[in-house]
Amino acid sequence: MGKKLVRLLIELAAIYAFVIAVLFLFQRHMEYFPDPRDVGLPKDAGIAEMQVLHVTTEDGLSLVAWFAPPKKKDGKVVVLFHGNGGSIPLRANKARLLIDHGYGVFFTEYRGYGGNPGDPTEEGLYRDARAGLSWLMNNGYKPSQFVIYGESLGTGVAVQMASEIHPKYLIIEAGFSSAADVAKGSMVGIPVDLLMRDRFDNASKIAAIKTNLLIVHGTADNIIPIEHDRKLFQAANQPKHFYTIHGGGHVDLYNFKAGEMIVGWLDKQVAGEQG
């Protein structure tokens, strides 16, 4: 082997090692994209029915949350965990639709997002979610009233919470089998399994969850391919439903009437409870 070839191989190995080191050190900057600005007031987002409150996490952070009670005290409360970008006002259209149909809505904003202290991590987001659910339970709402709803990265939070509190309903919008699987799809040749800290391993948890499950995914999602949710659906327990949104991407499913599909499904399940 010639000296030039050896030198080239050494240089390539050094570049590869550098890339691996950068990915390991800055991986959370590539997984979370928080909007750090204050979330403002619900009325400014068109959902004046929601009130601003604060919840305290088990590690002592005070986080902003928005809440609108259900039309009936014993009605369902949709607890929504959003994706890795932006903050809760970007999901105002979802809250508006649910409130108009009589459901309560609860948003806990994550640490590092929406003016909150802290930095997002997998375990941190679980703590944030638990703080919101604890607030609801401390204020008289029961887990049987909760509809746990996750979108994109928030499906990892939703699945974990469903495994802990066993709600009657779980909604997954544009979800994934695991965050590591998503990363593998775009990082060919990178040892993701060795490097990734925040894995949100939905596939390993879903089979142990016994709830009424709805999964919604778009066929044109180029961020998280629909095969991720098909894998989850295959592993999940009955009762379960899968809504395929033809032509829908990753963040535009409500433009394809996904919201109406979700509300229609939920209305039907709740009506079934009532006989």
Quote the CA–CA distance of 212 and 202 in Å, as a whole number. 16
Q: Alpha carbon of 110 to those of 10, 104, 234, 255: distances in Å? A: 43, 19, 30, 25
SS3 114: coil
- Domains along the chain? 32-273 (3.40.50.1820)
pLDDT in tens, 171-220: 999 999 998 888 776 666 666 566 677 789 999 999 999 999 999 999 99
Residue 134: Cβ within 10 Å count: 14
Q: Containing H/E element for 2?
A: none
DSSP one-letter string for 95-112: HHHHHHTT-EEEEEPPTT
* Contact in structure between 90 and 254 (CB atoms under 8 Å): no
Quote the CA–CA distance of 51 and 107 in Å, as a whole number. 10
pLDDT at 272: 87
For the residues 140-167, what does the mean pLDDT come to? 97
Q: Containing H/E element for 15?
A: helix 3-25
Residue 181, token pair as written in the block: 């699987």
pLDDT at 24: 52
**Which residue(s) pair with 3 in the sheet?**
none
User: How much of the chain exceeds pLDDT 70, in percent?
Assistant: 85
Quote the CA–CA distance of 90 and 208 in Å, as a whole number. 32
* Polymer length in residues for the chain: 275
User: How much of the chain exceeds pLDDT 90, in percent?
Assistant: 78
- Per-residue burial over 33-52, b if 16 or more Cβ lie within 10 Å, else e, is ebbeeebeebeebebebbee
pLDDT in tens, 228-244: 999 999 999 999 999 99
The set of residues, in sequence order, having a beta carbon less than 8 Å from that of 44 and lying 6+ positions away, is 89
What sign does the CA torsion over 258, 86, 149, 200 have? positive
Predicted confidence band of residue 31 (pLDDT cuts 50, 70, 90): confident
